A = this chain, B = another copy of it.
Amino acid sequence: MAEEFPMTGGDGPNSYANNSNAAAKAADGAKAMLVAAIFENLDIETLQSRPTTFRIADLGCSVGPNTFIQVDNIIDAVSQKYHKKSKVQSAGELPEFQVYFSDLVSNDFNYLFATLPRDRQYFTAGVPGSFHGRLFPEASLNFVYSAYALHWLSKIPDELRDINSPAFNKGRILYGNAPYEVGQAYSAQYAKDIKSFFHARGQELAPGGLMVLLIPGRPHGTLPAQNSLAPYFQPLESTLADMLNEGLLSEDKFDSFNLPVYCPSVEELRALIEENGCFDILTLESIGQVPFSLPSAQGCRAGTESILRKHLGDEIIEPLFDRYSKNKNIAGSASLVHDDRMAVGFFVLVKRKVL
């Protein structure tokens, strides 16, 4: 059974809605690539005859506004492609758009629905469930988008918590600077999850359908332990370590807590997609380091509160983030982030083969 770690819902100070600037900036930087991807690669001829519905899914959408902005970008680009075609042919009517906003069951869909843009030009649906499995009927989607969500693993590898395993991850919450076996355990889980993801999407995307993924990755030729997202979570780890030292957290709990995130190399990702066989890889490249600073207490809390609650208990949250906000590492550790280049973003564009 996969675990669920949604972003914090609602619109409070600790919510994802109010703490997703980094994701917004990163996605915004990829907008031009997204628009070009649609212009150059969308075959509107392969769509079914009228009445045509063009179905878009954002997987791991969390709540707005980022997902609403990117959906508008996608629809604008698809519409322009249709308009361009209509100059050549006589019938150039736009399809109707249906947008599926999908995230884990525990995502705050009530908030998502309440904040939908009032002037939206599409039909809406919310789809609860894990993108590591099937979510949609066969060949029913024309465009899939997922931004900075695929680094979340479906579960924490068991061996990280097994004191008898060489991958026992003592004293860390991630695999940065960890023994080889720890990185391998993460990498193996990632491979399993990405295979499941592509297997499901291969069934759901209509032939000729496009998928754009924005994924945090690591530079060519580096080992997992060297580029691990760990610096991003370093203030969280050091705050937890402080609480351990003060006796506010048991060693057992600290050692058994690991964050289920992983960032692959381009080669790793390419091999996994090719193994699936249903997709032509049109683009798979680093779009460079995304400028970012360490997360504030609120920013970190928006992304990790649910998993922390689950593994360390409800009572840890307030004291933890109270300490976190006073953590001296946050202000002075921008260089840490650049040492470990977690912020390399991958732009992935694949097309469902017409078999």
The reply on A140 being an interface residue by CB < 8 A is yes
In the complex, the answer to whether A126 meets B109 with C-beta atoms within 8 Å is yes
Considering the complex, give the chain B residue whose CB is closest to the CB of A108. B110
In the assembled complex, which residues on chain B have CB atoms less than 8 Å from the CB atom of A97? 137
Copies per complex of this chain: 2
Distance to closest chain B CB from A57 (angstroms): 10
Considering the complex, give the chain B residue whose CB is closest to the CB of A104. B113
The reply on A128 being an interface residue by CB < 8 A is yes
In the complex, the answer to whether B108 meets A138 with C-beta atoms within 8 Å is no
A interface residues, Cβ below 8 angstroms from B: 51, 53, 96-98, 100, 105-106, 108-110, 113-114, 116, 123-129, 134-140
In the complex, the answer to whether A139 meets B106 with C-beta atoms within 8 Å is no
Residue from the list B53, B127, B134 in contact with A125, Cβ < 8 A = B127
Residue from the list B124, B134, B139 in contact with A128, Cβ < 8 A = B124
A128 to B115 alpha-carbon distance, docked (Å): 11
In the complex, the answer to whether B105 meets A140 with C-beta atoms within 8 Å is no
Considering the complex, give the chain B residue whose CB is closest to the CB of A9. B110
In the assembled complex, which residues on chain B have CB atoms less than 8 Å from the CB atom of A125? 100, 125-127
In the assembled complex, which residues on chain B have CB atoms less than 8 Å from the CB atom of A110? 108-110
In the assembled complex, which residues on chain B have CB atoms less than 8 Å from the CB atom of A106? 114
Distance to closest chain B CB from A60 (angstroms): 15
Considering the complex, give the chain B residue whose CB is closest to the CB of A115. B105
